[in-house]
Amino acid sequence: MHLNHLNLAVDDVVEASSFLETYFGLRPLEGAPTTSRIRILRDDAGCAVALMHLPNDPPAAYPETFHIGFIQPDEGAVNAINARLVADGFQVDPPRRFHGSWTFYIPAPGGVLIEVLA
């Protein structure tokens, strides 16, 4: 069994999609809708991530501890993503040892918290 898809409510579909594509290698799912209201991306394992913001939706709001994670092969990869985000102007704390992982969190455009860890 494997995870097939996630549906995330976001405040800005285009901005959230661009962020996930640029920093985490997700790419548009072939044949899926690509609009300012919905985009479906996929990762290397085939998991689909739907980003949605429909007319009249309230702003996206998740519990404080809700997040999605991107596991990296090693600490160097975590450091590289962190450095790239900082260089591109994002406010992000440096990686640190937490719950047994080398990790950092970043609030992504669109309102979803992301953890990057190894």
Domains, the chain, ranges and CATH? 5-117 (3.10.180.10)
Residues of the chain with pLDDT > 70, as a percent, come to 100
From start to end of the chain, where are the E strands? 5-9, 27-28, 38-42, 48-52, 68-71, 96-98, 101-108, 112-117
Q: What is the pLDDT of residue 8?
A: 96
Is the full-model pTM beyond 0.85? Answer: yes
As a whole number, mean pLDDT of residues 55-61 equals: 86
pLDDT attached to residue 55: 85
Question: Is pLDDT of 7 > 90?
Answer: yes
How far lies 54's CA from each of 24, 25, 35, 108, 115, in Å?
24, 25, 11, 19, 26
Checking if the pLDDT of 33 tops 90, the result is no
